[in-house]
Every structure is written in structure tokens, then in C-alpha cells.
Amino acid sequence: MPADTANPELIYFEAHGLRQANDFRAALKRYGDFLAAVPTGSTHKAVLKALIGSIHCADALGDAEAMERVSRRLVETFPDNVLGPLHLGEALISLGRHAEGFAALTRSLQLDQTSQADG
């Protein structure tokens, strides 16, 4: 039974539970429902976790197009997060777009080196 659609927090927790149960298709849908319910551009930690959860679900399903789409949103919303370009690069390479994938992976390495220097 779907969580109350008026409460994004419940949607997020339902999506997370579905992912833990390996119901990746249903989890991907519920993460999408959660992300649609929060304001565009929100940088709340739950948004970051939902984007990463969505990427993992798409990857588990072998859906490189969904992985690319969600990874791009992660890059746009959290430009300094190393995981966005990392997963984007993986998705693009899976889609046969090697030059774009390599560029994204290179960006991920740059962000990683920057975060290590800051840490």
C-alpha cells in the first residue's frame, strides 16, 4: 500500500524500504514520487539520499537511461558532490557515450581530489 502522497517523508521512507527489500522498480518509482513532491533545487539531505537511492535502483535494474537522468539531476542540484559525475560517467559509458562518460568521470576525480585537499 503506497504511503500518504501528501507526506514526502513517508514516501521517502517507503522508497528506502522497497530498495532494502530489493524491489528496485517500485523503489525507483517511489523515489521519483518523493523527488516530485519536494521543491526543485532543494538541497535537503533527504533529496541527496533519494537521488543516490534512485541511481542505485536504476543501476540494479540495468536502466542506464534512468541512471543518466537522475545522475544529471544530482550533478545540477549538488554540483560539488563526487557521486553525481561518478554515476553519470558510469551511465554514459553504459549507453556507449564514452567521451561524455570519460569527461564526467574526470570531473568526479577532480571533485574527489578537491574534497581530500579540503578534508
Q: What is the pLDDT of residues 25-37, one digit of tens each?
A: 999 999 999 999 9
Category of 48 on φ-ψ map: left (φ > 0), alpha (ψ -120 to 50) or beta: alpha
Q: Is the dihedral of CA 64, 23, 86, 32 positive or negative?
A: positive
What pTM was estimated for this model as a whole? 0.88
> Which pLDDT score, from 0 to 100, does residue 40 have?
83
- The structural architecture, per CATH, of the domain 8-118 is Alpha Horseshoe (1.25)
In this predicted model, what pLDDT tens digit does every residue of 59-116 receive, in sequence order? 999 999 999 999 999 999 999 999 999 999 999 999 999 999 999 999 999 998 877 6
Amino acid at 98: H
